[in-house]
Amino acid sequence: MRFVRIILLALAPAIALAPRALGQNRPAPKPLQAAAHAASPDWDGAWMPDFAALMKGQVDPVFTPEFAAKRAEWRAKAAAGQPVPNPMQNCLPPGMPDTMELPFPVEFLFTRGRVTIIQEAFTQVRTVFMDGRGHPSDPDPTYNGHSIGHWEGDTLVIDTTQLRADTYLPMRAEVDFVPGPHSDALRIVERIRLAGPDKLEDHLVITDPKALAQPWEFSISYNRHRDWDLHEYVCEENNRDETDSSGHDMLKGVQK
Amino acid sequence: MKKRVWLVCLSALLLGAAAVPVAAHHSYAMFDGSKRVSLEGTIREFRWTNPHSWIQIDVRNEQGGTDTWTVECGSPNDMARHGWRSSTLKPGDHATIVINPLRNGDKGGRFISVTLADGTVLAEPALRTPPKP
């Protein structure tokens, strides 16, 4: 112990003088600007996705050959009764873009220099930086990525990158619980605007040069509920899902 | 208590034709969506938790004993928005619960509806026809 203490004391000056840039790879952000939008639109309330609309006339992503083969492999496994990827079963969040189309409400908060999107499911927070910064040069992949945004008139435009590669894309035409794969090059551009007094539309354009043969576009329509509050959602509170020895979903503690 | 029939059940079933995309917390493949089992018995416990609320119900079996069935409901967040409360079901309540049973034959299933002693019917507000597994 004394040996360690000596070493630390010897290193102390070096540690104190170490450049602050260690661990940072971008300049300090600009101070928060005045109101993100001169007259913030009324996006108050809780917004629930309209699933009937979501399933109408939407298209599935078109995969590159390598990623199409990966999905075909998962479908074959599913057909044989074997498990397929589903992180939500273990209380992991699904990641973008699925974050925006869960059967739970989202809300939008406007503060100086940022828009914050709260998703009730898994109590998630998406921070959209509106202060003119770019994406960090040294990616730190996360479930919901790094988001920067700006207003174009009444449309909020959000650009998201740095998404973890181990999340999955929600399919549309082939709804069989076999999700779609993507790579770490996934990029999501959203254009969000009011489409009616109580209707919000998020139009997404999703690209992934490694996994998608062409951009994947779809819209999520939300209906407003001004009288709903978002509740806490801690998935690990009482998650009884587990997998058995062959990887199949089962429930804990059920009488045989 | 007035007899109430939650019309949410009807509207949910009407919407059910549009299957929910990958929105499920987990695959519903473990439940047999083509079968319904009716469980008449006494509520042992109602756990109001995420990601699922749970009902434990004691049901008399053919051997004259009691089985404890485990019933998975939706998220309390969604149920609360459709009028459910943690106090909606209490230990000791007599009730009949309809479920899609577990495929593996264990005594459990996915909640569809409950009829209380006074005739009130409460349906699963988040019920949407899951896609065929």
Instruction: Write down the domain spans for chain B.
Output: 8-14+30-123
Q: Contact A87/A168 with Cβ under 8 angstroms?
A: yes
Across the interface, whether the CB atoms of A104 and B108 are under 8 A apart is answered no
Neighbours of B105 (CB within 10 A): 9
* Interface membership of A233 toward B (CB under 8 Å): yes
* Nearest chain B CA: its distance from A221 CA (Å): 14
Is A12 inside a domain boundary?
Answer: no
Closest B-chain CA to A60: B21
Q: Contact A92/A202 with Cβ under 8 angstroms?
A: no
Neighbours of A220 (CB within 10 A): 22
Per-residue pLDDT, A168: 95
Per-residue pLDDT, A59: 85
Per-residue pLDDT, A93: 94
Angle at B127 between CA B126 and CA B130, to 5 degrees: 120
Nearest to A218 by CA among A208, A203, A199: A203
A211, exposed or middle or buried, with CB in 10 Å at 0-12, 13-18, 19+?
Answer: buried
Closest A-chain CA to B67: A255
* Interface membership of A152 toward B (CB under 8 Å): no
Residue numbers in B near A227 (CB within 8 A)? none
Closest A-chain CA to B53: A238
pLDDT per residue, tens digit, chain A (256 aa), is 666 666 655 555 555 544 444 445 555 555 555 444 555 789 999 999 998 888 787 789 999 999 999 999 999 988 887 878 888 888 999 999 999 999 999 999 999 899 999 999 999 999 999 999 999 999 999 999 999 999 999 999 999 999 999 999 998 776 567 889 999 999 999 999 999 999 999 999 999 999 999 999 999 999 999 999 999 999 999 888 876 666 667 788 889 8
Block mean pLDDT (10 aa), chain B, length 133: 39 37 60 94 97 96 95 93 90 97 94 92 62 30
* Interface membership of B13 toward A (CB under 8 Å): no
Q: Which domain holds residue A104?
A: 46-228
* Nearest chain A CA: its distance from B87 CA (Å): 17
Across the interface, whether the CB atoms of A237 and B49 are under 8 A apart is answered yes
Residue numbers in A near B80 (CB within 8 A)? 231
Residue numbers in A near B78 (CB within 8 A)? 103-104
Across the interface, whether the CB atoms of A177 and B133 are under 8 A apart is answered yes
Per-residue pLDDT, B23: 42
In total, how many domains does chain A have?
1
The token pair at A20 is 């602050």
Q: Contact B108/B39 with Cβ under 8 angstroms?
A: no
Q: Contact B93/B42 with Cβ under 8 angstroms?
A: yes
* Interface membership of A231 toward B (CB under 8 Å): yes
Bridge-based pairing of strands A216-225 and A249-251 is: unpaired
**Which amino acid appears at position A128 of this protein?**
V
| Fold held by B8-14+30-123 | OB fold (Dihydrolipoamide Acetyltransferase, E2P) (2.40.50)
Considering only the beta carbons, identify the residue of A170, A177, A254 that sits closest to B27.
A177
Considering only the beta carbons, identify the residue of A86, A91, A175 that sits closest to B21.
A175
